[in-house]
Structure 1
């Protein structure tokens, strides 16, 4: 398996654990040190350290059930024992009885140990008030 395939495998591991609401398996994709961070799409989703990251995912699991991660565009840059993944995806989930498709953009920073582990994950949503081909939102 190439390094790129190994890194893509960690994305699949994350998605499977997230959809299964398996917090232990989800946390296994991250570095086992306390030097990890996650930025989510919510205003208060700024997490540093394993406990904070774990609590964020448990809260997410309580609010909705993800069924599928649909991978779209991606770019993987590998340099020595570090990698950065830029990826666009759609998360298919059930929230308050409704089936939703949430477009997400991720940046994931990884480090190679005996395997590739996540150091940081940043999520954002495309601006809904910004037209394609425009650099800035059209409304306040």
Structure 2
């Protein structure tokens, strides 16, 4: 298995743990200690440290049930014992009895710990709906 394959396997592990609502398994994907962070799509989802990151996952688990992560475009850059993943995905979830699909963009920063890759930071965003294709900035007109 290549380093890139090992890194991408952490995304699959994250998706499996998230869909299972398994907080312990999900947090095990991150490095040990308090030096982790997460930025989510919610305005208040700016988190550092294990407790804050875990709190976001717990809220997400209460609000909806993810059924599947469908990976799309991806780019993985490895620089020695550090790596960055840029990926787009669609999360299939159930919210209030309805099936939804949520398109997301992620950036994940990882470090190699022994033979394993561990997450240090995950940033999620949604594409700006008010930004026309080919335009550098959202206009607020759409």
Query: Taking structure 1 as the reference length, what is the TM-score of the superposition?
Result: 0.97
**2:124 is the alignment partner of 1:120:** no
Other structure's SS at 2:56 match: helix
Other structure's SS at 1:54 match: helix
Q: In 2, Cα distance between the equivalents of 1:46 and 1:9?
A: 25
5 Å-filtered alignment, 1:16-35, equals 16-35=16-35
Q: Which residue of 2 is the match for residue 89 of structure 1?
A: 89
Q: Which residue of 2 is the match for residue 129 of structure 1?
A: 130
For residue 97 of structure 1, report the CA deviation from its aligned partner. Answer: 1.6
For residue 66 of structure 1, report the CA deviation from its aligned partner. Answer: 0.4
Q: In 2, Cα distance between the equivalents of 1:32 and 1:110?
A: 12
Structure 2 unaligned blocks of 5 or more: none
For residue 96 of structure 1, report the CA deviation from its aligned partner. Answer: 1.4
Q: In 1, Cα distance between the equivalents of 2:34 and 2:103?
A: 29
For residue 134 of structure 1, report the CA deviation from its aligned partner. Answer: 2.0
For residue 138 of structure 1, report the CA deviation from its aligned partner. Answer: 2.8
For residue 47 of structure 1, report the CA deviation from its aligned partner. Answer: 0.6
Provide the aligned C-alpha RMSD in A: 0.9
Structure 1 unaligned blocks of 5 or more: none
For residue 131 of structure 1, report the CA deviation from its aligned partner. Answer: 2.2
Other structure's SS at 1:53 match: helix
Q: Which residue of 2 is the match for residue 139 of structure 1?
A: 140
Aligned length: 140
Q: In 2, Cα distance between the equivalents of 1:44 and 1:92?
A: 22
Q: In 2, Cα distance between the equivalents of 1:97 and 1:71?
A: 24
Query: Taking structure 2 as the reference length, what is the TM-score of the superposition?
Result: 0.95
Q: In 2, Cα distance between the equivalents of 1:84 and 1:137?
A: 26
